[in-house]
Amino acid sequence: MCGIVGFWNYDNQPASSDLIYKMRESLHHRGPDAGAHWIEGALALGHRRLSIIDLSESANQPFHSPCGNYTLVFNGEIFNYQTFYPELKHKGHVFKTSSDTEVLLFLLMEYGLEALNRLNGFFAFAFFNRQSQELILARDRFGVKPLFYYTSDHGLYFASESKAFFAAGLTKEIEEENLDELFLYRFNAGKNSVFKNLKVLLRVLWLC
Protein backbone atom coordinates (compact mmCIF):
# COMPACT_ATOMS: atom_id res chain seq x y z
CA MET A 1 0.00 0.00 0.00
CA CYS A 2 1.28 3.45 -0.98
CA GLY A 3 -0.30 6.88 -0.98
CA ILE A 4 -0.43 9.59 -3.63
CA VAL A 5 -1.40 13.25 -3.27
CA GLY A 6 -1.29 16.38 -5.37
CA PHE A 7 -2.89 19.63 -6.41
CA TRP A 8 -2.98 22.02 -9.33
CA ASN A 9 -3.58 25.69 -8.52
CA TYR A 10 -5.81 27.83 -10.66
CA ASP A 11 -4.43 31.03 -12.23
CA ASN A 12 -0.92 29.52 -12.23
CA GLN A 13 -0.29 30.37 -8.60
CA PRO A 14 3.00 28.69 -7.54
CA ALA A 15 2.47 25.44 -5.63
CA SER A 16 3.43 25.46 -1.97
CA SER A 17 6.07 22.95 -0.88
CA ASP A 18 4.80 23.17 2.70
CA LEU A 19 1.26 22.33 1.58
CA ILE A 20 2.17 19.25 -0.46
CA TYR A 21 4.41 18.10 2.40
CA LYS A 22 1.49 18.26 4.85
CA MET A 23 -0.73 16.31 2.45
CA ARG A 24 1.98 13.72 1.82
CA GLU A 25 2.86 13.16 5.46
CA SER A 26 -0.79 12.76 6.47
CA LEU A 27 -0.55 9.45 4.56
CA HIS A 28 2.66 8.28 6.21
CA HIS A 29 0.88 5.15 7.47
CA ARG A 30 0.29 4.07 3.86
CA GLY A 31 3.98 4.22 2.95
CA PRO A 32 6.53 4.28 5.77
CA ASP A 33 9.54 3.42 3.59
CA ALA A 34 9.99 6.65 1.64
CA GLY A 35 8.33 9.98 0.97
CA ALA A 36 8.97 12.73 -1.55
CA HIS A 37 7.24 15.39 -3.61
CA TRP A 38 7.83 17.32 -6.81
CA ILE A 39 6.68 20.79 -7.88
CA GLU A 40 6.34 22.21 -11.38
CA GLY A 41 4.90 25.72 -11.30
CA ALA A 42 1.30 25.48 -10.11
CA LEU A 43 1.38 21.67 -9.92
CA ALA A 44 2.54 19.57 -6.97
CA LEU A 45 2.75 15.77 -6.78
CA GLY A 46 3.57 13.76 -3.67
CA HIS A 47 4.08 10.12 -2.73
CA ARG A 48 4.48 7.88 0.32
CA ARG A 49 6.01 4.51 -0.51
CA LEU A 50 5.65 1.01 0.84
CA SER A 51 8.47 -0.89 -0.89
CA ILE A 52 7.43 -4.29 -2.23
CA ILE A 53 8.82 -5.19 -5.67
CA ASP A 54 11.99 -3.12 -6.13
CA LEU A 55 13.34 -2.12 -2.72
CA SER A 56 15.99 0.27 -4.07
CA GLU A 57 15.87 4.06 -3.81
CA SER A 58 15.91 4.27 -7.60
CA ALA A 59 12.28 3.11 -7.58
CA ASN A 60 11.15 5.91 -5.27
CA GLN A 61 8.49 8.30 -6.49
CA PRO A 62 7.58 10.75 -7.95
CA PHE A 63 9.04 8.85 -10.88
CA HIS A 64 10.42 10.80 -13.85
CA SER A 65 11.02 9.70 -17.44
CA PRO A 66 14.60 9.76 -18.76
CA CYS A 67 13.64 12.63 -21.09
CA GLY A 68 12.29 14.64 -18.17
CA ASN A 69 8.94 15.30 -19.84
CA TYR A 70 6.78 12.85 -17.87
CA THR A 71 6.22 12.38 -14.16
CA LEU A 72 4.20 9.66 -12.41
CA VAL A 73 2.95 8.99 -8.89
CA PHE A 74 1.42 5.54 -8.56
CA ASN A 75 -0.28 3.45 -5.91
CA GLY A 76 -0.98 -0.22 -6.61
CA GLU A 77 0.47 -3.27 -8.28
CA ILE A 78 0.56 -4.31 -11.95
CA PHE A 79 0.65 -8.12 -11.88
CA ASN A 80 1.56 -8.57 -15.54
CA TYR A 81 4.20 -5.84 -15.72
CA GLN A 82 7.02 -8.20 -16.67
CA THR A 83 5.21 -9.28 -19.85
CA PHE A 84 5.71 -5.76 -21.25
CA TYR A 85 9.52 -5.84 -21.04
CA PRO A 86 10.19 -7.25 -24.56
CA GLU A 87 7.74 -4.84 -26.20
CA LEU A 88 9.02 -1.76 -24.41
CA LYS A 89 12.68 -2.67 -24.89
CA HIS A 90 11.98 -3.13 -28.60
CA LYS A 91 10.69 0.46 -28.63
CA GLY A 92 13.97 1.64 -27.19
CA HIS A 93 13.17 2.02 -23.52
CA VAL A 94 15.99 1.26 -21.08
CA PHE A 95 15.02 0.05 -17.63
CA LYS A 96 16.90 1.29 -14.57
CA THR A 97 14.70 -0.48 -12.01
CA SER A 98 12.76 -3.71 -11.67
CA SER A 99 9.62 -1.89 -10.55
CA ASP A 100 6.16 -1.98 -12.10
CA THR A 101 6.15 1.82 -11.73
CA GLU A 102 8.72 2.20 -14.49
CA VAL A 103 6.78 -0.17 -16.74
CA LEU A 104 3.58 1.80 -16.19
CA LEU A 105 5.36 5.07 -16.96
CA PHE A 106 6.70 3.77 -20.29
CA LEU A 107 3.31 2.27 -21.22
CA LEU A 108 1.59 5.61 -20.63
CA MET A 109 4.27 7.40 -22.62
CA GLU A 110 3.76 5.04 -25.57
CA TYR A 111 0.01 4.43 -25.55
CA GLY A 112 -1.65 6.92 -23.24
CA LEU A 113 -4.94 5.79 -21.72
CA GLU A 114 -5.18 2.89 -24.19
CA ALA A 115 -2.66 1.14 -21.97
CA LEU A 116 -5.17 0.83 -19.13
CA ASN A 117 -7.12 -1.99 -20.78
CA ARG A 118 -3.93 -4.05 -20.95
CA LEU A 119 -3.16 -3.84 -17.25
CA ASN A 120 -3.87 -6.72 -14.91
CA GLY A 121 -3.83 -5.37 -11.40
CA PHE A 122 -5.13 -2.58 -9.21
CA PHE A 123 -3.94 0.98 -9.32
CA ALA A 124 -4.48 4.69 -8.84
CA PHE A 125 -2.09 7.18 -10.41
CA ALA A 126 -1.41 10.72 -11.59
CA PHE A 127 0.53 11.12 -14.84
CA PHE A 128 1.82 14.51 -15.96
CA ASN A 129 2.96 15.53 -19.44
CA ARG A 130 5.08 18.66 -19.08
CA GLN A 131 5.14 19.56 -22.77
CA SER A 132 1.35 19.46 -23.23
CA GLN A 133 0.64 20.55 -19.63
CA GLU A 134 -1.80 17.67 -19.17
CA LEU A 135 -2.47 15.79 -15.95
CA ILE A 136 -4.28 12.45 -16.01
CA LEU A 137 -5.79 10.92 -12.86
CA ALA A 138 -6.91 7.31 -13.17
CA ARG A 139 -7.85 4.29 -11.07
CA ASP A 140 -8.58 0.65 -11.69
CA ARG A 141 -11.99 -0.54 -12.85
CA PHE A 142 -13.24 -1.68 -9.45
CA GLY A 143 -11.68 1.00 -7.30
CA VAL A 144 -9.52 -1.40 -5.30
CA LYS A 145 -7.09 1.51 -5.00
CA PRO A 146 -9.31 4.53 -4.34
CA LEU A 147 -8.62 8.06 -5.47
CA PHE A 148 -10.48 11.15 -4.29
CA TYR A 149 -10.50 14.71 -5.62
CA TYR A 150 -11.56 18.00 -4.08
CA THR A 151 -12.41 21.20 -5.91
CA SER A 152 -12.03 24.61 -4.30
CA ASP A 153 -11.79 28.22 -5.40
CA HIS A 154 -8.00 27.86 -5.43
CA GLY A 155 -7.57 24.66 -7.42
CA LEU A 156 -8.10 20.93 -7.70
CA TYR A 157 -6.64 18.52 -5.16
CA PHE A 158 -6.39 14.72 -5.19
CA ALA A 159 -5.35 12.04 -2.70
CA SER A 160 -5.58 8.38 -1.79
CA GLU A 161 -7.45 9.30 1.39
CA SER A 162 -9.73 12.22 2.23
CA LYS A 163 -7.72 13.11 5.33
CA ALA A 164 -5.01 14.60 3.09
CA PHE A 165 -7.37 17.38 1.99
CA PHE A 166 -8.06 18.44 5.54
CA ALA A 167 -4.35 18.31 6.36
CA ALA A 168 -4.03 20.93 3.62
CA GLY A 169 -6.54 23.14 5.40
CA LEU A 170 -9.43 22.60 3.00
CA THR A 171 -12.93 23.05 4.40
CA LYS A 172 -14.35 19.96 6.11
CA GLU A 173 -18.09 20.31 5.73
CA ILE A 174 -20.73 17.56 5.74
CA GLU A 175 -22.89 17.06 2.64
CA GLU A 176 -26.12 16.43 4.54
CA GLU A 177 -28.09 15.05 1.60
CA ASN A 178 -25.64 12.12 1.42
CA LEU A 179 -25.93 11.17 5.09
CA ASP A 180 -29.01 8.94 4.73
CA GLU A 181 -27.26 6.75 2.17
CA LEU A 182 -24.14 6.51 4.34
CA PHE A 183 -26.08 5.51 7.44
CA LEU A 184 -28.21 2.98 5.54
CA TYR A 185 -25.51 1.27 3.46
CA ARG A 186 -22.34 2.39 5.30
CA PHE A 187 -20.98 3.89 2.06
CA ASN A 188 -21.89 6.44 -0.60
CA ALA A 189 -22.42 5.14 -4.12
CA GLY A 190 -20.86 6.49 -7.28
CA LYS A 191 -18.78 9.64 -7.05
CA ASN A 192 -20.62 11.04 -4.03
CA SER A 193 -19.03 11.41 -0.62
CA VAL A 194 -20.20 12.62 2.76
CA PHE A 195 -18.11 15.80 2.41
CA LYS A 196 -18.90 18.85 0.30
CA ASN A 197 -16.64 19.42 -2.74
CA LEU A 198 -15.07 15.96 -2.28
CA LYS A 199 -15.71 13.35 -4.97
CA VAL A 200 -14.61 9.78 -5.65
CA LEU A 201 -12.79 9.30 -8.94
CA LEU A 202 -14.67 6.58 -10.82
CA ARG A 203 -12.22 5.99 -13.67
CA VAL A 204 -10.34 8.88 -15.36
CA LEU A 205 -10.05 12.64 -14.93
CA TRP A 206 -8.13 14.61 -17.56
CA LEU A 207 -6.87 18.11 -16.70
CA CYS A 208 -5.07 20.60 -18.89
**24-41 as b/e: b if 16+ CB within 10 A:** bbbbeebbeeebbbbbee
Is residue 2 part of the annotated active site? The answer reads yes
25 touches 47 (CB < 8 A): no
146 preceded by a cis bond (ω within 30 of 0)? no
Which residue among the candidates 1, 2, 34, 116 is catalytic per the annotation? 2
Exposed, middle or buried: residue 188 (CB in 10 Å: 0-12, 13-18, 19+)?
Answer: middle
* DSSP SS3 for 49: strand
The DSSP bridge partners found for residue 125 are: 74, 138
Task: Please list the active-site residues.
Answer: 2
